[in-house]
């Protein structure tokens, strides 16, 4: 059996390589060998979150997998036909639910039947997209490409305990076909939406986060509507955060011990303002999430992003290893980079 070899230390050298390679392997039925996984990280090799992601992808595809253990630096993944599944997945502790979904959603779109997942893990954890990003920014965009997916947040989960719960339903694409997407114009200026949330903390934490974000946005001439969410669940995890969005741009931050709630709200506002003040049409986090979908459509697709991130470059590297596609990256505009994927002729 021949394998397409992927360098797991390329670019940002993290889980992005694993998730993209496994997803495209499943969709194209091409076997992959991922070597030097997270070679330059403090804890190299597979983590528990990567393990659960690959295990779920293997169940979707009846794949043969080698090297599936914590700390493994080499994985071989050989998929078969994609089928819909109904599954409960416990990532363990605060392993990111959205990072698992980043790999699993594109696979399930090409399944022969609907996929339903009950996922337990972290919904709001460092170095991963917040669950509110997936619900309010990511899903609306891929919905324009023909994806029919619902995500229900049942319970939030924070580091280190996790225990968050998300229910996901992924319907197969009609005729296995993704539509192209052209995001070449900034959306009409609207109010910034948001949610400030906490679990097992005093209610004033949520208020202070929201008030601080509203003040920064107001100072920059943006109206906002930020909801407040207070939860008490003694069996759940403890934490707080805030997520802000306007169309396809967002900003967020999480609370920490000895970090004032006002700083959390201010950070989130500053991050979304950085996106809103550029001529981009998607934020830097949405851009790398969209690459695999743009690559899989036969149609022309275009987005504008304010800068190329390591995650974005890494995603394109893996895509080119498995698909015969080319992205035209145009940096001629003053404050934005155009990423164009031409139609398949």
User: Which residues sit opposite 14 in a β-bridge?
Assistant: none
Domain boundary residue, one of 142, 177, 212? 177
Q: How many CA atoms lie within 13 A of 14 on its CB side?
A: 12
If one counts every other C-beta atom within 10 angstroms of the C-beta of residue 162, the result is 24
Q: Which of 137, 132, 140, 79 is nearest to 104 (CA)?
A: 79
CA distance 243 to 245: 7
Note whether 182 and 288 are same-domain residues: yes
CATH number of the domain bearing residue 44 = 3.30.110
Note whether 288 and 315 are same-domain residues: yes
Note whether 197 and 267 are same-domain residues: yes
Q: Going residue by residue through the chain, which has 345 residues, state the pLDDT in tens, using 9 for 90 and above.
A: 799 999 999 988 889 999 999 999 999 999 999 999 998 888 899 999 999 999 999 999 999 999 999 999 999 999 999 999 999 999 988 999 999 999 999 999 999 999 999 999 999 999 999 999 999 999 999 999 999 999 999 999 999 999 999 999 999 999 889 999 999 988 777 899 999 999 999 999 999 999 999 999 999 999 999 999 999 988 889 999 999 999 999 999 999 999 999 999 999 999 999 999 999 999 999 999 999 999 999 999 999 999 999 999 999 999 999 999 989 999 877 789 999 998 765
Specify the pLDDT at position 171.
98
Specify the pLDDT at position 303.
97
Domain boundary residue, one of 230, 246, 276? 276
Per the confidence metrics, is the pTM higher than 0.75? yes
Note whether 71 and 144 are same-domain residues: no
Contact status, residue 177 vs residue 299, Cβ threshold 8 Å: no
Note whether 239 and 91 are same-domain residues: no
Note whether 313 and 182 are same-domain residues: yes
Note whether 87 and 156 are same-domain residues: yes
CATH number of the domain bearing residue 236 = 3.30.360.20
Note whether 92 and 170 are same-domain residues: yes
What tokens were used for 232? 């008490």
What DSSP string describes 17-67?
HHHHHHHHHHHHT--EEEESTTTTSSS-S--HHHHHHHHHHHHHHT-EEE-
What tokens were used for 102? 């980043």
Helix then strand then coil, in percent of the chain rounded to 5, is: 35, 25, 40
Active-site residues: which are they? Answer: 311
Find the domain containing 251 and state its range: 192-276
Note whether 182 and 294 are same-domain residues: yes
Specify the pLDDT at position 181.
97
Note whether 203 and 226 are same-domain residues: yes
What DSSP string describes 248-316?
TEEEEEE--TT--HHHHHHHHHHHHHHHHTSS-SS-HHHHHHHHHHHHH-SS-EEEEESS--HHHHHHH
CATH number of the domain bearing residue 133 = 3.65.10.20
Terminal C-alpha separation, the chain: 30
What DSSP string describes 78-103?
E-------EEEEE--TT-BHHHHHHH
Note whether 261 and 305 are same-domain residues: no
CA distance 121 to 165: 7
User: Which residues sit opposite 158 in a β-bridge?
Assistant: 162
CA distance 268 to 244: 7
Q: Which of 228, 96, 102, 243 is nearest to 162 (CA)?
A: 96
Adjacency order of strands within the sheet including 148-155: 86-90, 115-121, 164-171, 148-155
User: What sign for the dihedral angle of Cα 31, 109, 51, 13?
Assistant: positive
Give me the helix-helix angle, 48-61 and 97-108, nearest 10°. 20
Specify the pLDDT at position 59.
98
Specify the pLDDT at position 207.
98
Adjacency order of strands within the sheet including 239-246: 224-231, 192-199, 239-246, 249-254
Tell me which residue has tokens 């304010």: 306
Specify the pLDDT at position 343.
77
Note whether 182 and 307 are same-domain residues: yes
DSSP 8-class letter at 234 = T
Helix (H, G, I), strand (E, B) or coil at 116: strand
Domain boundary residue, one of 58, 81, 104? 81
Number of domains in the chain: 4
**φ, ψ of residue 341 in degrees (nearest 5):** -115, 115
């Amino acid at each position: 059996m021949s394998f397409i070899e992927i360098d797991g230390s390329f670019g940002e050298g993290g889980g992005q390589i694993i998730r993209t390679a496994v997803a495209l392997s499943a969709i194209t039925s091409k076997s992959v060998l991922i070597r030097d996984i997270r070679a330059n990280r403090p804890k190299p090799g597979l983590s528990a979150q990567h393990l659960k992601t690959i295990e779920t992808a293997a169940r979707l595809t009846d794949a043969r997998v080698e090297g599936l253990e914590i700390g493994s630096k080499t994985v071989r993944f050989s998929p078969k036909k994609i089928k819909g599944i109904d599954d409960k997945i416990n990532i363990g502790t605060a392993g990111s639910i959205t990072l698992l979904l980043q790999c699993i959603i594109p696979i399930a779109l090409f399944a022969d039947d609907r996929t339903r997942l009950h996922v337990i893990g972290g919904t709001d954890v460092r170095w991963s997209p917040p669950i509110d990003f997936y619900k309010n920014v990511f899903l609306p965009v891929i919905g324009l490409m023909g994806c029919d997916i619902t995500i229900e947040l049942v319970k939030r989960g924070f580091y280190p305990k996790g225990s968050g719960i998300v229910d996901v339903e992924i319907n197969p694409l009609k005729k296995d076909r993704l539509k192209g997407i052209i995001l070449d114009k900034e959306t009409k200026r609207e109010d910034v939406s948001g949610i400030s949330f906490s679990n097992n903390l005093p209610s004033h934490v949520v208020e202070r986060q929201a008030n601080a974000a509203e003040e920064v946005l107001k100072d920059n001439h943006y109206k906002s509507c930020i909801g407040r969410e207070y939860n008490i669940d003694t069996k759940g995890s403890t934490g707080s955060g805030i997520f802000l969005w306007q169309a396809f741009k967002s900003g967020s931050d999480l609370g920490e011990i000895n970090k004032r709630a006002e700083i959390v709200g201010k950070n989130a506002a500053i991050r979304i303002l950085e996106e809103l003040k550029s001529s981009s049409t998607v934020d830097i986090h949405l851009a790398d999430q969209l690459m695999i979908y743009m690559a899989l459509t036969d149609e022309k697709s275009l987005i504008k992003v304010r800068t190329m991130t390591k995650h974005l470059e890494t995603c394109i590297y893996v895509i080119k290893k498995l698909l015969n596609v080319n992205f035209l990256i145009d940096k001629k505009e003053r404050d934005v980079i155009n990423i164009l994927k031409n139609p398949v002729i």
